[in-house]
A and B are shown apart, each in its own frame.
Chain A
Amino acid sequence: MNFCMTRCTSVIAAAMACLAIATPAIAQEKLKLINVVELSGAGATAGTNWKNGIDLAVADINAKGGILGRQIEIIHYDTQTNPGNTRAAVQRAIDEGTYAVLGPVFSGPIGASMQIAQRAEIAQLVGGEAAGLTRQGNPYLFRTSLSQAAAMPKIAAYLQKEVKAKNIAVVWVNNDFGKGGRDAILPELAKLGITVGADVSTEQGQADFAADAIKVKNANVDAVFVYLNEEESARFLSAAKQQGVGKPMIGETTLLGSKVISLAGDAANGVRGHVGLSIDAPIPAFQEFGRKFQANYNYASDHNGLKGYMAVSMIKWGTEKQKSFDKKGLADTLRGATIRPSDEPGIMITTKIEQNGDLDRESFLAEVIDGKQIIKGTLPMLNP
């Protein structure tokens, strides 16, 4: 009896010891990804969508067995939309052994932090669109959306051919995103002979747009190109409606995003423009993502949700392509690659990654009708 009890105790002790040893081993098997993103401050809307898209991708990938058999462990750090905090968070992510850095979304914090991931030779997948980001020769930076350099020629052509505008107002936000967009569109407008009747600079986080709307109204232009972040876009559209601006409002992706539509309400109706990514695009995978996002988070994803999902899918594709978890190798694999949905369903649309980290893929023309973004046409890749 005593022997039996001793033996049983020994077996249990041995099993517990094995479990204790095995637990860290299992934990080590997880692939750590750290997302450094704007969860509060001016970039909270964009950052929250990006984060939720990432969480969805991680859940989907883990449910299907992970990446090369390893489950993903995702950690999110809030930068508060502060460049200093972003630098610290990227450094912390690298120190904590992230396989790749995800985020941030706002171009200013990206510009302030991208050198840290570059020095560590770790791929950084970001949501920023400022043209200047990929002109700095950083081989570890990868976009998840079209850059302004790719989008603005399309917008300028749209203003000329579809809107038939000859004189427009440009309303932009005075941060890296807005300045980059303004600097990218002005030469394109000049090439097409479109003049800028009002060049209106606004501030990030600005609450009151009444004066800006009055300024635009009195500029007597044919159309207004609005290039602001999400919340500011909604506030400007509301102010423009209140002041009776009454001109076509043209934008690029953000202005037609679901968050802007929901915040601006009726004031968003009639807004037109170019969108890089949209859950309403005539691509079944986008629409399926939109439904899944809605079911999980109870609101419609904007383009940042799609970008977050695609960022993790790019990492999955690159890792499986190189068949290892080499951090530097991931960046090397992604650079110059073309990812097709047949190879990696999470990418949803054929995506070509340029050598400088820019993307090329199809994009869309859209209009907001009755509070919903309606896709009016598809534009081809620039360099298929």
Chain B
Amino acid sequence: MAEFIAYLIAGLATGAIYALAAIGFTLVWQTSQTINFAQGEFVMLPAIFVLIAVKLLGLPIWAGALIGIAAFILLFGWGFKLLLVDPMIRHGVLPLAIATMSLSIIMKEGAKDGYSAEAQKFPSLIPAETLSFMGVSISLQHIAIIGVACIAIGGLQWFVTQTKIGRQMQASAQNPGVALILGIPVAQMVLLTFLINAALAALASILISPIYLAKFSNGEVIGLFAFIAAIVGGFNQVRGALAGGLIVGVIDSLAAAYISTSYRLAVPLVLLVVIILVKPEGLFGRPEERRI
């Protein structure tokens, strides 16, 4: 039992990272009706930005993290919307989706050529200590990841549902035309959504990089699992992304433990196929109709 609990906690920690990344899929989907195929790289790149700030500017980790995250949010929150989404969305969602694929490659290769092709040690803000509870060794880093991710996602949910700006964001996502007539600054709400996406991705990056190490290729795995998580949970619901992330993380951990490390990637994919066949809107998503 102690062993199972250890696998469960490790899976929840990984799943919390997938959830943070998966929320990015849902946010971009709600505002642009498209899929950001660079979402994995959105989680990879902030760690590189932080390392650049720490190493090149000689800053302490906390200051490097603040500057790196701020630079990332500016470039890949505001810049992403201004330079990629706004010009491409006029041509339909497909060109935009393809543009995000290109962006993914540019971010990955840029990190490789501009910084390093090798994995880099990323300092942890949380000590790498272990707690022992009822015979189960629990990593403090895992507990912190689960805690911080839950607080961030809970805070986002509260912001979106309980505040005026949050409700304006929802209205803008659901029907931009009517929202504009009602006097909601739709453009600003959309921008805010992209900034939140970038901030959550940066948070995921800071949390996971001490464990995965900072490397240009990290986005491939994270992006894939977050995409699966978003579909499993429901592409149009923040709570769906949270549930999907945690489910995929736990399944991945248990598959590695009880089936085989070699087949661990296959198990979440099987889950994905089952969800698409049985409940295509996802476990917590709402059905959407689209005229084509």
State the A residues within 8 Å of B (CB): 39-41, 44-45, 48, 174, 200-203, 205-208, 210-212, 214-215, 217-218, 230-231, 234-235, 238-239, 241-244, 259, 262-263, 265-267
Contact = CB atoms under 8 A, between A and B. Distances in A.
Contacts of B218: 207
A39 B117 contact: yes
A45 B213 CA distance: 13
B261 A267 contact: no
23 contacts: A40-B112, A40-B117, A44-B118, A45-B118, A206-B261, A208-B253, A210-B139, A211-B7, A211-B256, A211-B261, A212-B261, A214-B3, A214-B7, A231-B213, A234-B213, A235-B213, A238-B210, A239-B211, A242-B141, A242-B142, A243-B6, A243-B130, A267-B128
Given A174-B262, A210-B253, A231-B213, A262 B121 contact: yes
Interface string B6-20: 110011011000000
Interface in B88-132: 112, 117-121, 128, 130, 132
Q: Which of A231, A238, A259 has the most CB of B within 10 A?
A: A238
B256 A212 contact: yes
Given A230-B119, A239-B211, 16 more contacts: A40-B216, A48-B118, A201-B260, A207-B212, A208-B10, A210-B10, A211-B11, A212-B256, A214-B10, A215-B257, A217-B6, A217-B137, A231-B215, A234-B121, A242-B128, A242-B139
Nearest to A202: B261
A231 to B, nearest CB: 4
Contacts of B254: 211
Contact of B217 (A41, A202, A210): A41
A241 B142 CA distance: 13
A268 B254 CA distance: 27
Nearest to A46: B118
A64 B256 CA distance: 54
A220 B188 CA distance: 58
B10 A211 contact: yes
Contact of B261 (A200, A214, A230, A266): A200
Interface of B: 3, 6-7, 10-11, 13-14, 112, 117-121, 128, 130, 132, 137, 139, 141-142, 210-213, 215-218, 221, 252-254, 256-257, 260-262, 264
A234 B130 CA distance: 18
Contact of A210 (B14, B121, B128, B210): B14
A255 to B, nearest CB: 15
A218 B137 CA distance: 11
A208 B3 CA distance: 17
Nearest to B249: A208
A293 B3 CA distance: 45
Nearest to B113: A40
Contacts of A265: 121
Main secondary structure of the interface of A (DSSP, over half): helix
Contacts of B130: 241-244
Given A202-B261, A231-B213, A207 B118 contact: no
A202 B265 CA distance: 12
A208 B215 contact: no
Q: Which of A174, A208, A215, A244 has the most CB of B within 10 A?
A: A208
Contacts of A235: 211-213
Contacts of A242: 128, 130, 139, 141-142, 211
List the 3 closest A-B pairs by CB distance, nearest first.
Answer: A210-B10, A211-B256, A242-B139
A243 B216 CA distance: 26
Given A40-B117, A44-B118, A211-B256, A201 B128 contact: no
B257 A45 contact: no
A44 B215 CA distance: 11
Contact of B128 (A203, A218, A241): A241
A48 B119 CA distance: 12
B119 A208 contact: no
A208 B118 contact: no
B221 to A, nearest CB: 6
A202 B256 CA distance: 9
Contacts of A231: 118-119, 213, 215
Contacts of B137: 217, 243-244
A214 B6 contact: yes
Contacts of A207: 211-213, 218, 221
A174 B257 CA distance: 16
A41 B221 CA distance: 13
A207 B3 CA distance: 21
A174 B260 CA distance: 12
A208 B13 CA distance: 11
Contact of A238 (B120, B211, B260): B211
Contacts of B261: 174, 200-203, 206, 211-212
A208 B14 contact: yes
B211 A208 contact: yes
A211 B128 contact: no
A193 B213 CA distance: 37
Contact of A266 (B6, B128, B211, B216): B128
Contacts of B120: 263
A201 B260 CA distance: 8
Contacts of B211: 207-208, 235, 238-239, 242
